[in-house]
Amino acid sequence: MEMLKEKIRQEGLVPSDNILKVDSFLNHQIDPVLMMAIGEEFARLFADAGITKILTIESSGIAAALTAGLKLNVSLVFARKKKSVLMNEDVYMTDVHSFTKNETNQVTVLKKFLPAGETILIIDDFLANGEAALGLAHLVEQAGSTVAGIGIVIEKAFQNGGARLREKGFRVESLARIASLTAGEVTFVEECVQA
Amino acid sequence: MEMLKEKIRQEGLVPSDNILKVDSFLNHQIDPVLMMAIGEEFARLFADAGITKILTIESSGIAAALTAGLKLNVSLVFARKKKSVLMNEDVYMTDVHSFTKNETNQVTVLKKFLPAGETILIIDDFLANGEAALGLAHLVEQAGSTVAGIGIVIEKAFQNGGARLREKGFRVESLARIASLTAGEVTFVEECVQA
């Protein structure tokens, strides 16, 4: 998605070889026009997938899931992240480890908002090692619903999350794929290899 | 806002005399069409206020702030909530106490995304005792910017938050004002007293 890549080139910060900061438009400050374009692109990519509901995770997934939901005309539900919660029979729950923050969160969603038999699109802002997306997929599985696809705003393609998800048979669509962040420079995966 | 009130009447749950649960459309599952209408209504109400930026707080304020930002054509920034963070010179910080959860969070926003001289619209999903809105207003004050208004999706008008904010001179616009939740019943504040 060229508009997104251009924004990453202009405003993305690379403080180290595996960190890309995009908090000026994606996950702290938000550019609503770009976010609407992101939702439209997810809707276009998954137009044929029969999506009935979107599942994301707080906080940074909410904006993209909302605009995609608007364009796909389906509701969204955001899973909640807590350090620890009491067991509660009303929720589906899974552990998600964050390597960046070195902490494990219990991720929950109320069962009544993730019923069986739905065709779910999972959306998140970043894909690195795939922990969050796998956790969300695990919630969908517990619910007896189907993951029709995983929509990612920015995939760090030099980490193994994309491979892990695709190996499990998930359809992953990333709007920008980062090949490397070496020497403070963002390099995208080339979508088309020229002859 | 009639569409919102109708949704509250249809789906709002009242487990006790001061709790209104609207997690089927506002703060866990989200109805994108209603959320867009909410953003449009905020944009209409504050059209003349010269808003240059929206400030909200994660997670439940993000969706309404995004749709309002889209309609007002301004960016938004969401403050982050943490139990405790190290002192950091790059952020504005304030304590916000939640009476519902009986916990105090440190709420932060990166200084670079809340510069001086902005005309800020604060948006949040609920107004009860006003702690969150006052905390956000305190961040704006630290930044040397101006709070032009506070947009609230649902105000529990039987609690003192609205009065606290209005006494301080803030313009508060609530899209639905709850007069009482007695006996499991939602009663709205009547906007027009008939002769």
What's the one-letter identity of residue B133?
Answer: A
Question: Is residue A106 in a domain?
Answer: no
User: What is the reported pLDDT for B100?
Assistant: 80
Q: Does A62 touch chain B (CB under 8 A)?
A: yes
Neighbours of B194 (CB within 10 A): 4
* pLDDT band of B192, cuts 50, 70, 90: low
Reading the block at residue B49, the tokens are 């206020």
Question: Is residue B10 in a domain?
Answer: yes
Q: Does A36 touch chain B (CB under 8 A)?
A: yes
Identify the residue whose tokens are 């180290």: A16
Residue in A24, A33, A66 nearest the CB of B30: A66
Is residue B178 helix, strand or coil?
strand
Distance CA A128, CA A157 (A): 7
Q: What are the distances in angstroms from CA A138 to CA A75, A133, A147?
A: 20, 9, 10
Question: Within a 13 Å sphere around the CA of A167, how many CA atoms are in the beta-carbon half?
Answer: 7
Q: What is the pLDDT of residues A183-192, one digit of tens each?
A: 999 999 986 5
Cβ A62–B59 below 8 Å, yes or no?
yes
Nearby residues of B71 by Cβ (< 8 Å), 6 or more positions away: B39, B40, B42, B43
Pair B118, B145: CB distance under 8 Å: yes
Count how many pairs of residues, chain A against chain B, have C-beta atoms within 8 Å.
93
Distance CA A133, CA A57 (A): 9
A78 to chain B, closest Cα gap in Å? 6
Q: What is the pLDDT of residues A19-68, one digit of tens each?
A: 999 999 999 999 999 999 999 999 999 999 999 999 999 999 999 999 99
What are the beta bridge partners of residue A124?
A152
| Closest-CA residue of chain A to B66 | A32
Question: Is residue B33 in a domain?
Answer: yes
pLDDT, mean of residues B42-46: 98
Reading the block at residue B151, the tokens are 């947009």
Domain with residue B63: its CATH number is 3.40.50.2020
In which domain, by residue range, is B27 found? 2-188
Q: Is the dihedral of CA B83, B84, B90, B95 positive or negative?
A: positive
B58 interaction partners in chain A (CB closer than 8 Å): 58-59
The least confident of A127-141, B15-29, B67-81, B88-102 is B88-102
Nearby residues of B102 by Cβ (< 8 Å), 6 or more positions away: none
User: What is the reported pLDDT for B68?
Assistant: 98
Kindly calculate the radius of gyration of chain A based on its CA atoms and give it in whole angstroms: 16
Distance CA A162, CA A175 (A): 13
Pair B194, B173: CB distance under 8 Å: no
Reading the block at residue B193, the tokens are 């007293």
User: What is the reported pLDDT for B84?
Assistant: 64
Question: Is residue A100 in a domain?
Answer: no
Pairing of strands A91-98, B29-30: unpaired
Identify the residue whose tokens are 């609407």: A36
Q: Is the dihedral of CA A164, A166, A171, A176 positive or negative?
A: positive
User: What is the reported pLDDT for A195?
Assistant: 45
Question: Is residue A87 in a domain?
Answer: no
Q: What is the dihedral of CA A158, A162, A163, A165, to 10 degrees?
A: 160
**Spatial CA neighbour of B46 closest among B139, B151, B131, B157:** B151
Distance CA B107, CA B180 (A): 30
Cβ B76–A32 below 8 Å, yes or no?
yes
Residue in A66, A80, A110 nearest the CB of B35: A66
First-to-last alpha carbon distance for chain A, in angstroms, is: 22
Q: What is the pLDDT of residues A145-176, one digit of tens each?
A: 999 999 999 999 999 999 999 999 999 999 99
SS (H, E, C) chain A: CHHHHHHHHHHCEEEECCEEECCCCCCCEECHHHHHHHHHHHHHHCCCCCCCEEEEECCCCHHHHHHHHHHHCCCEEEEEEECCCCCCCCEEEEEEEECCCCEEEEEEEEHHHCCCCCEEEEEEEEECCCHHHHHHHHHHHHHCCEEEEEEEEEEECCCCHHHHHHHCCCCEEEEEEEEECHHHCCEECCCCCCC
Q: State ipTM.
A: 0.95
Question: Is residue B195 in a domain?
Answer: no
Question: Is residue A113 in a domain?
Answer: no
Of the two residues A193 and B41, the one the predictor is more confident about is B41
Please state the φ and ψ torsions of residue B114, each to the nearest 5 degrees: -135, 70
Q: What is the pLDDT of residues B168-187, one digit of tens each?
A: 999 999 999 999 999 999 99
Q: Does B21 touch chain A (CB under 8 A)?
A: no
Number of domains in chain B: 1
Pair B83, B106: CB distance under 8 Å: yes
Question: Is residue B194 in a domain?
Answer: no
pLDDT, mean of residues B16-42: 97
